[in-house]
């Protein structure tokens, strides 16, 4: 699945390496109509969290999509993931709607969108 995501949009997939170990990643995709980037997954290895690396990866991704002329970016985040929601809000993502039972365990997600 990860390989397919990567092959569909290699420029929108990032890995963060430290001493040759992958310590974080962001998998991105896009829709053509509307032309919109999509953050499919982002994570930082547990022991490296809270050091600004999530923001670093997100900043890099946002500058990439700007360069590629995407005017908006969307993502889904678990409604209980307060840490991630706070990070996205700092980057001006806004909650657009709630998607009920988005996750396999039945939990809900927020659809968040950042527009230029
Ligand atoms: C979400 C995640 C990627 C953030 O990465 P990180 O490297 O820990 O984040 P940063 O250190 O760059 O912090 C970014 C912002 O997140 C928020 N944040 C980070 N740690 C937090 C905490 N303990 N409590 C509340 N907010 C927190 C803050 O807004 C922070 O910005 P600030 O330091 O300016 O206040 C990381 O926690 C993670 O991998 N979580 C598990 C996977 C996940 O939930 N992914 C998101 C799915 S949509």
Residue 44 CA: nearest ligand 1 atom is 39
| Distance of alpha carbon 14 from alpha carbon 37, whole angstroms | 14
Domain containing 23 — which CATH number? 3.40.630.30
Whole-number pLDDT of residue 63: 97
Atom of ligand 1 nearest to the CA of 42: 45
Instruction: Give the integer Cα–Cα distance in Å for 71 and 85.
Output: 21
**pTM of the predicted model over 0.75:** yes
Helical axes 82-90 vs 53-67, angle rounded to 10°: 50
Which residue range is the domain that position 6 belongs to? Answer: 2-115
Ligand 1 lining (C-beta closer than 6 Å) = 42-44, 49-55, 75, 77, 81, 83-84, 86-87, 90
Work out which ligand 1 atom sits closest to the CA atom of 49.
Answer: 8
Q: What is the pLDDT of residue 116?
A: 76
- Going residue by residue through the chain, which has 116 residues, state the pLDDT in tens, using 9 for 90 and above: 999 999 999 999 999 999 999 999 999 999 998 899 999 999 999 999 999 999 999 999 999 999 999 999 999 999 999 999 999 999 999 999 999 999 999 999 999 999 97
Q: Give distance in angstroms: CA of 84 to centre of ligand 1.
A: 5
Of the candidates 84, 81, 61, the one whose C-alpha atom is nearest the C-alpha of residue 9 is 61
- The number of distinct structural domains making up the chain is 1
């Amino acid at each position: 699945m990860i390989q397919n995501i990567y092959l569909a949009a290699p420029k929108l997939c990032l890995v963060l390496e430290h001493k040759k170990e992958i310590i974080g990643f962001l998998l991105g995709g896009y829709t053509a109509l509307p032309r919109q980037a999509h953050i499919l997954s982002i994570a930082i290895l547990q022991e490296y969290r809270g050091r600004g690396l999530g923001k670093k990866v997100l900043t890099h991704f946002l500058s990439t999509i700007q360069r590629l002329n995407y005017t908006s970016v969307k993502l889904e985040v678990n409604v209980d993931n307060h840490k991630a929601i706070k990070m996205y809000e700092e980057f001006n993502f806004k909650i657009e709607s709630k998607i009920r039972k988005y996750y396999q365990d039945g939990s809900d997600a927020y659809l968040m969108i950042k527009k230029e």
